[in-house]
Amino acid sequence: MKRAYLLFIGTLSISGCIPSGPSMTLLVNPKTGERITCRAVVLVDQFRRENCVQEYEGLGFVQAQNLTPEQRDNLPPKPTR
């Protein structure tokens, strides 16, 4: 049984159905400049990453690649901690 499972996962991986490396989404709050990274390392984490993205988008964050040129130009400096 375990061997069949590993064969199945290997086939999915080779076919491109499973990401080969970490998946990250950078989100930016255009008003405050705060940055958040939602990450996934394995397939199960993809669902957590998607939930993370949705949660922060609901709070006003925007995926970095979706910022408009105007939003990029008007971003406050990155907050220091």
pLDDT tens, position by position, 36-75 = 999 987 777 888 999 999 999 999 999 999 999 999 898 8
Residue 64 domain boundaries: 20-81
CB 53 within 8 A of CB 38: yes
Total structural domains within the chain:
1
Residue 4 in domain: no
Name the pLDDT band for 80 (thresholds 50, 70, 90).
low
Q: Can you give the pLDDT at residue 35? A: 93
CB atoms within 10 A of CB 77: 6
Identify the pLDDT of residue 21: 54
- Max Cα separation, the chain? 56
Q: Decide if 27 contacts 36 (C-beta within 8 A).
A: yes
Please provide the average confidence, as pLDDT, over all residues in the chain.
Answer: 78
Phi first, then psi, for residue 27 (nearest 5°) are: -115, 145
User: Does any domain span residue 30?
Assistant: yes
